[in-house]
C-alpha cells in the first residue's frame, strides 16, 4: 500500500538556484538559509520517498496570461525545465509518476475538481529550486513527480478554501491508490513578498509566523482570509501560500512538525522552510515496528 509520509513547504526564490549554481551556500548571506535544509535532507534520507506530488505555481514558463488554468495537473512521462529568464542553469528532465498522475486525475474529476490535464508540461523554478534544496546534487532524479499547478498569478485567483479542498481531495485520491510508493507532498512559494508596484519589497513577519504556526495544527485558520485579504497581508506574490495550503490538505488531519526555518530576506522574499510528518504514516510505522 502506498504511504504519504509528510510534506515539505519551502520558498522557491530563483536567486537560491543561482546561489546553488555558484556554490555560495556557506557565504554569510546564504548560510542561515541553507542551514535550514540540513534537517529536511536528513528526514528525506531516512524516509526515502519514491514520488513527490508538488503543488506550485507556474510563473509564465508553461502557462501564460492568454491561457491560465486555475488548477492544472501533469500526466507526462517526463517534464522538462527551461530558462524562463532568470539565467539559471536548465535542470535535467524530471521523470513523471505517470500512472499515479492518471489515478489522481480520474479521482479528482470524479470528485468535482475540473482539472486541466497536461500531457506535456514545462516546470519552472518553483519546482526546480525546491528539488535542488531538498535533494542537492544528482540524487533528486530518484524521485518521480506529479506536478500540480495552482494559479497564483492572474485574477481571479482560487480561494484558500478551495485550495485546501483540492489538497484534501488529492489526499483521498492518494489513499485509494493501489501502488506501494512512499509519497512526499511539496508546497512551494511564499512566504510574504511583493515583487512590483508601490509595495515592492513588502514583507509581513507577523502574518508569516501565523501561517507557520497554524498550517500544521489548524490549516482552516489560513482559509478565514480571502485571496485578496492574503494579498493585502502577504504581498501580491505572498499569495503563493495557496500552494502550501493545498499541500497541507493532502497530509490528512494530524501532522507533527519535524523542522522549520524562517529567514528574512532572501532576495525580496521572507524565506521559510517547514516539514510536517503525516501522523497516519508515523502510526503505521509504529505498528510495523511493534509487529516486527
Ligand atoms: C522572487 C520570489 C519568487 O517567489 C519568485 O517566483 C521570483 C522571485 C524573489 O524574491 O526574488
Ligand atoms: Fe514565486
Domain count, the chain: 1
Q: What CATH number does residue 202 fall under?
A: 3.40.830.10
Q: What is the pLDDT, as a whole number, of residue 137?
A: 85
Ligand 1 pocket, residue 191 CB under 6 Å: no
Ligand 1 pocket, residue 168 CB under 6 Å: no
Q: What is the pLDDT, as a whole number, of residue 285?
A: 77
Whose CA is closest to atom 2 on ligand 1?
Answer: 13
Whose CA is closest to atom 4 on ligand 1?
Answer: 13
Please say if the pLDDT value at position 229 is more than 80: yes
Q: Is residue 23 within 8 Å of residue 134, measured between CB atoms?
A: no
Average pLDDT, the chain: 96
Q: Structural domain of residue 49, as residue ranges?
A: 3-291
Q: What is the pLDDT, as a whole number, of residue 208?
A: 98
Q: From the CA of 189, give the closest atom in ligand 1.
A: 4
Q: From the CA of 269, give the closest atom in ligand 1.
A: 10
pTM for this entry: 0.97
The phi, psi pair for 105, rounded to 5°, reads -60, -50
Please say if the pLDDT value at position 117 is more than 80: yes
Whose CA is closest to atom 10 on ligand 1?
Answer: 268
Tell me the per-residue pLDDT of 246-281, one tens digit each, with 9 for 90 and over: 999 999 999 999 999 999 999 999 999 999 999 887
Give the distance (Å) from ligand 1 centre to CA of residue 189: 8
**How far is the C-alpha of 266 from the C-alpha of 269, rounded, in Å?**
5
Give the distance (Å) from ligand 1 centre to CA of residue 59: 10
Q: What is the pLDDT, as a whole number, of residue 171?
A: 97
Amino acid at each position: 500500500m502506498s504511504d504519504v509520509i509528510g510534506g515539505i513547504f519551502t520558498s522557491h526564490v530563483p536567486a537560491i538556484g543561482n546561489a546553488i549554481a555558484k556554490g555560495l551556500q556557506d557565504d554569510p548571506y546564504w548560510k542561515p538559509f541553507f542551514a535550514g535544509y540540513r534537517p529536511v535532507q536528513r528526514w528525506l534520507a531516512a524516509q526515502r520517498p519514491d514520488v513527490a506530488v508538488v503543488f506550485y505555481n507556474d510563473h509564465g514558463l508553461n502557462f501564460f496570461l492568454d491561457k491560465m488554468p486555475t488548477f492544472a495537473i501533469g500526466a507526462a512521462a517526463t517534464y522538462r525545465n527551461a530558462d524562463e529568464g532568470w539565467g539559471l542553469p536548465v535542470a535535467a528532465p524530471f521523470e513523471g509518476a505517470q500512472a499515479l498522475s492518471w489515478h489522481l486525475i480520474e479521482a479528482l474529476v470524479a470528485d468535482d475538481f475540473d482539472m486541466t490535464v497536461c500531457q506535456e508540461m514545462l516546470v519552472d523554478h518553483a519546482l526546480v529550486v525546491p528539488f535542488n534544496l531538498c535533494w542537492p546534487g544528482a540524487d533528486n532524479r530518484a524521485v518521480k513527480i506529479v506536478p500540480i499547478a495552482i494559479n497564483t498569478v492572474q485574477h481571479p485567483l482560487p480561494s484558500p478554501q478551495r485550495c485546501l479542498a483540492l489538497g484534501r481531495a488529492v489526499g483521498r485520491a492518494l489513499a485509494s491508490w493501489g501502488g506501494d510508493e512512499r509519497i512526499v507532498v511539496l508546497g512551494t512559494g511564499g512566504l510574504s513578498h511583493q515583487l512590483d508596484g508601490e509595495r515592492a519589497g513588502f514583507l509581513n513577519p507577523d502574518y508569516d509566523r501565523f501561517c507557520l504556526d497554524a498550517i500544521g495544527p489548524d490549516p482552516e485558520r489560513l482559509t478565514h482570509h480571502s485571496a485578496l485579504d492574503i494579498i493585502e497581508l502577504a504581498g501580491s506574490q505572498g499569495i503563493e501560500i495557496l500552494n502550501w495550503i493545498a499541500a497541507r490538505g493532502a497530509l490528512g488531519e494530524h501532522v507533527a512538525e519535524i523542522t522549520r526555518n524562517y529567514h528574512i530576506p532572501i532576495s525580496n522574499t521572507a524565506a521559510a522552510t517547514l516539514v510536517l510528518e503525516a501522523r497516519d504514516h508515523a502510526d503505521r510505522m509504529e505498528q510495523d515496528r511493534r509487529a516486527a
